[in-house]
Structure 1
Amino acid sequence: MTDEPTKRRFLTVEQAAEELNVKSSLIRGLISSGELRAIQVGGRGLWRIGLQDLEDYIAEAYRRTASHIAAGDLPDDGEQDSQ
């Protein structure tokens, strides 16, 4: 037996939203669009997102962002520099 804490394999929609600091509705939309892999467990509306699937989504988001930066096409999210 080890002293290491047990690592979760899956996150709820709410936990994934908390990880990304977004609303649960955005996570549900990403699942519906196929951008974020998830599985439906049991009854209606019970979704679980694999930790690796969330990490893969984040890595792909970084790749897309780098591509937009390289192309000079970074969308403005409304934040302004405070200088």
Structure 2
Amino acid sequence: MATDRFLQLSDVAEILNISSSQTYALVRSGDLPAIKIGGRGQWRVERAELEHYIERMYKETRDFVRAHPFTYSDTPDEEIG
């Protein structure tokens, strides 16, 4: 798997630590580009596309954090200590 150009959805799920159904939803929504190949139409995600997706999620998270600064009111009472 380490050098494969294309990954199965189960591989992507493992890398992202999400369920297979969440991975399928990312692909079907177009958030994570993938191709359908073979007679049975199996989904494959190019490793480079997965890396771009991860980079994009980091950027979106940074933008979200900047736009929504953390306050103690965001933390449930039991976590404040």
Name the TM tier (shorter chain): 0.7 to 0.9
Q: Tell me which of 32, 48, 56 is aligned to 2:44.
A: 48
Gaps of 5+ in 1: 1-5
Inter-CA distance 30–71: structure 2 relative to 1 (3 Å threshold): same
Tell me the SS of whatever aligns to 1:40: strand
Take 2:27 and 2:5, find their aligned partners in 1: how far apart are those partners?
Answer: 17
Gaps of 5+ in 2: none
Root-mean-square deviation (CA), in Å? 2.4
What percentage of aligned pairs have identical amino acids?
Answer: 39
Take 1:60 and 1:35, find their aligned partners in 2: how far apart are those partners?
Answer: 10
Tell me the SS of whatever aligns to 2:22: helix
Letter in 1 for 2:34: A
Which protein is richer in helix relative to its size? Answer: 2
* Residue 44 (structure 1) shift: 3.6
- The match for 1:39 is 35
* Residue 32 (structure 1) shift: 0.6
Letter in 2 for 1:31: V
- The match for 1:58 is 54
Q: Tell me which of 47, 56, 72 is aligned to 2:68.
A: 72
Moved over 3 A (4+): 80-83
Take 1:11 and 1:65, find their aligned partners in 2: how far apart are those partners?
Answer: 25
